[in-house]
């Protein structure tokens, strides 16, 4: 009887010991799995904690720069950082007192997909910018331009200079009348069109005519091919995210973060950053000059429409034309000369508008009244005006930014960000299309007792 009991207890103890060992092994395995998952979560968050500080401080955007300030940008750099953080959270605890049972060995880390600021050609960057402006409650005068963008587009489509040039060519092709002098010789009578001196100003430096102050304009030139708008853009894929694209909020973001003529931002590679967004040329001066040309065209189109529709001004122009001897001898000159004088009135008024705007004043997009008169053309000098109503320089600049479209404004804004971050960090490798907002990693590891682990995680700021 005692022998049977001894055998029973021995078998029971063996079974119980095996069961306890099985439970212990499963507990160790589950503990390793939990440690592995915690290390993965902690590591992926730690990677996101290494966001680009300069980009956040200057532009309130949060991204991981995969160049890490010193390398060529590559997702492999990010994988190495993730490996480092996971290794520290897995192996770093084993040498401590009361270390957990079971070892974990990382085998492979692959970032299988990621989204950068260039996702959907800058929609990711724009989304962050819009959310920032919405949270901060930023709003300025630039928002007012939306109400008159239809007027701006109509003025942009007009071509008054072509009409004026056509009239001047018509006059140049007409035969001048002849008159017999005291010697009995027939001589041509000069037209002496008072609009000629104004027409000679066409093609002059608009900034000179506007008396713009360019003392603070940065003389530096940039190499356009180095920036995202002009190079082959990488990493534009997006997983069908719903990005915020609000034009009004993004416009406020640009005016809050970037400078322009008369309102520069310190520590920027370019001084006139918004002019660059509007025109995309290789220097401040070229961008400012291109904006001035567009602004002149808008104002000339509106002033020409006012001049041609003003009956009193037309009567003055006809009266001035009738005083010319050539017109008295050949009535066919009357209408084109009078018309050319009206264009000259509009040109002088446009110069006055430009001087007002570049002096810090305002000019309406569509004028209800004006300061034009034929006497100003006959007087032979430029003049300056004054107005407290209408748009200022910044608002006209805002309308030009809206005209280039969302994609161009996104990419050129990122050009500016690349310029500033390279200038700030002396990191020529900084590229916005390698700045990561979210990423998905696949992590493989093995543990003690032939355990194997696989995990796929996606982390990001938004």
pLDDT digit string (tens) for 399-416? 999 999 999 999 999 999
pLDDT at 183: 76
Task: Provide the H-helix boundaries in 359-405.
Answer: 374-379, 393-403
Q: Are 322 and 328 in contact (CB under 8 A)?
A: yes
Residues 221, 223: Cα–Cα separation, whole Å: 7
Break the chain down into helix, strand, coil percent, rounded to 5.
55, 10, 35
CB atoms within 10 A of CB 376: 18
- Phi and psi, residue 204, nearest 5°: -70, 165
Buried b or exposed e, range 97-133, using 16+ CB within 10 angstroms: eeeeebebebeebebeebbbbbbbbbbbbbbbbbbbb
Q: Are 261 and 393 in contact (CB under 8 A)?
A: yes
439: closest CA among 28, 77, 60, 155? 77
pLDDT at 36: 83
What parts of the chain have a pLDDT lower than 50?
none
**Residues in contact with 380: Cβ distance below 8 Å, sequence separation at least 6, in sequence order:** 197
Task: Provide the H-helix boundaries in 92-214.
Answer: 123-136, 149-157, 160-173, 196-199, 206-209
pLDDT at 137: 94
- Phi and psi, residue 106, nearest 5°: -65, 135
**Sign of torsion, CA 363 133 247 296?**
positive
Q: Kindly report the pTM of this predicted structure.
A: 0.88
Structure tokens at 277: 């967004």
- Predicted confidence (pLDDT) per residue in 24-35, tens digit: 555 556 666 888
- Predicted confidence (pLDDT) per residue in 183-226, tens digit: 778 888 899 999 999 999 999 999 999 999 998 888 888 999 99
Residue whose pair of structure tokens reads 């331009």 in the numeric block: 145
Q: Are 116 and 128 in contact (CB under 8 A)?
A: no
Residues 145, 291: Cα–Cα separation, whole Å: 16
Residue whose pair of structure tokens reads 């592995």 in the numeric block: 36
Mean pLDDT of the chain: 90
In degrees, rounded to 5, the angle at the alpha carbon of residue 143 between the alpha carbons of residues 138 and 145 is 165
71: closest CA among 415, 456, 434, 457? 434
Structure tokens at 202: 């066409």
**Residues in contact with 238: Cβ distance below 8 Å, sequence separation at least 6, in sequence order:** 115, 119, 120, 123, 124
Q: Radius of gyration over alpha carbons of the chain, in Å?
A: 36
Task: Provide the H-helix boundaries in 186-283.
Answer: 196-199, 206-209, 247-257, 273-279
pLDDT at 218: 85
Structure tokens at 212: 């713009």
β-pair type (435-447, 452-460): antiparallel
The H-or-E segment that residue 326 falls in is helix 325-329
- Predicted confidence (pLDDT) per residue in 316-336, tens digit: 999 999 999 999 999 999 999
């Amino acid at each position: 009887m005692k022998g049977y009991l001894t055998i029973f207890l021995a078998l029971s103890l063996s079974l119980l010991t095996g069961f306890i060992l099985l439970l212990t092994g499963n507990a160790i395995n589950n503990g390793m799995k939990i440690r592995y998952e915690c290390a993965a979560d902690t590591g992926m968050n730690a990677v996101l904690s290494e966001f680009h500080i300069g980009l956040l401080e200057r532009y309130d955007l949060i991204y991981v720069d995969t160049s890490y300030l010193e390398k060529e940008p590559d997702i492999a750099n990010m994988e190495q950082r993730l490996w480092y953080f996971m290794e520290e959270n897995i192996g770093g605890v084993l040498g401590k007192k009361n270390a957990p049972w079971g070892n974990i060995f990382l085998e492979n880390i692959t970032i299988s997909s990621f989204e950068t600021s260039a996702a959907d050609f800058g929609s990711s960057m724009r989304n962050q910018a819009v959310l920032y402006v919405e949270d901060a409650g930023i709003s300025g005068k630039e928002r007012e331009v939306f109400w008159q963008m239809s007027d701006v587009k109509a003025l942009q489509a007009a071509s008054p200079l072509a009409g004026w040039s056509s009239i001047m060519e018509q006059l140049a092709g007409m035969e001048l009348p002849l008159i017999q002098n005291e010697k009995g010789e027939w001589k041509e009578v000069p037209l002496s069109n008072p609009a000629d001196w104004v027409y000679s100003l066409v093609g002059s430096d608009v900034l000179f005519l506007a008396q713009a102050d360019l003392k603070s304009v940065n003389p530096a030139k940039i190499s356009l091919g180095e920036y995202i708008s002009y190079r082959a853009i990488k990493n534009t894929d997006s997983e069908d995210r719903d990005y915020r694209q609000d034009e009004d909020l993004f416009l406020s973001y640009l005016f809050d973060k970037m400078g322009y003529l008369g309102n520069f931002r310190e520590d920027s590679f370019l001084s006139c950053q918004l002019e660059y967004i509007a025109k995309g040329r290789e220097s401040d001066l070229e961008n400012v000059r291109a904006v001035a040309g567009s602004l002149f065209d808008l104002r000339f189109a509106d002033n020409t429409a006012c001049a041609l529709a003003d009956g009193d001004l037309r009567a003055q122009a006809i009266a001035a034309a009738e005083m010319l001897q050539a017109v008295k001898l050949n009535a066919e000159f009357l209408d084109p000369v009078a018309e050319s004088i009206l264009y000259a009135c509009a040109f002088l008024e446009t110069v006055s508008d430009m001087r007002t705007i570049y002096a810090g004043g305002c000019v309406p997009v569509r004028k209800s009244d004006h300061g034009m008169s034929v006497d100003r053309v006959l007087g032979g000098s430029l003049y300056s005006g004054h107005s407290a109503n209408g748009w200022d320089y910044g608002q006209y600049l805002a309308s030009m930014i809206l005209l280039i479209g969302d994609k161009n404004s996104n990419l050129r804004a990122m050009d500016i960000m690349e310029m500033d971050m390279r200038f700030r960090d002396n990191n020529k490798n900084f590229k916005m299309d390698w700045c990561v907002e979210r990423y998905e990693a696949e992590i493989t590891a093995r543990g003690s007792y032939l355990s194997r682990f696989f995990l796929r995680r996606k982390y990001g700021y938004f």
